[in-house]
Amino acid sequence: MTPEEFRKEILPEGRRLYAFAYRFLNNREEAEDAVQEVMMKLWSRRNDKSRYASTAAWCTTVTRNYCIDILRRKNRLRLESLSEAAGVSAAQRGDEGTGDEREAAGVVSAIVRRMKEPGRSAIILRDMEGYSYEEAAEAMGTNVAALRTLISRARKQIREEMNRIYNYGTGEDNRTDKQVF
């Protein structure tokens, strides 16, 4: 890959990679730094691109792996669980939505942040980033059937946590700042 091809194919992915990294790291500066590091990795590994069907899948895979490495380093430094991924609420997307919708989106984002890999990545790629099943499977290095299973389990976990937090069906609301965030 020539420098010109890199500028045309890879650099335009930067904004999307930043959004993806931000959802993982929940920190603007760390996401910016991650994208810079990923761009350098992509350049140094430019000959690996041929192993992937799409440029987007290759870039996303490298970004995902780099973000996971950052989070693992943080986890080694701290004993407590970290806020590992960030979703986008309706307000962040620019949708107004109702207060309840924004709150629910925030609760779902908090649940996703606490999820373990690879379910967290599956939900972020498919439901938050809007990847097709095929694209998400390729980015995660798995097949579509396995991805569907991961997503199903992750959605079930979200549903169960929402039921616990909101105590659906009883009319009671069990939210506290500690439980939600």
pLDDT at 84: 34
Residues 65 and 99 in one domain: no
Whole-model pTM?
0.52
> Which pLDDT belongs to residue 75?
61
115 shares its domain with 171: yes
pLDDT of 173 > 70? The answer is: no
Q: Are residues 130 and 54 in the same domain?
A: no
- Name the residue with higher pLDDT: 19 or 104: 19
Residue 64's closest CA among 108, 10, 122, 106? Answer: 122
CATH of the domain at 11: 1.10.1740
pLDDT of 40 reads: 92
For residues 97 and 116, state if they share a domain.
yes
Q: Is the pLDDT of residue 171 over 60?
A: no
Phi and psi (nearest 5°) for 78? -125, 150
Parent domain of 157: 87-181
Do 116 and 59 share a structural domain?
A: no
Our count of domains for the chain comes to 2
Report the percentage of the chain scoring pLDDT > 90.
22
Question: pLDDT tens-digit profile of 65-87?
Answer: 898 888 777 765 443 322 333 33
Nearest to 21, CA basis, from 69, 53, 93? 69
Tell me the two tokens of residue 48.
């690996």
CB of 36 within 8 A of CB of 100?
no
pLDDT tens-digit readout, 109-168: 888 888 888 998 888 888 877 788 888 888 888 899 999 999 999 988 988 888 887 775
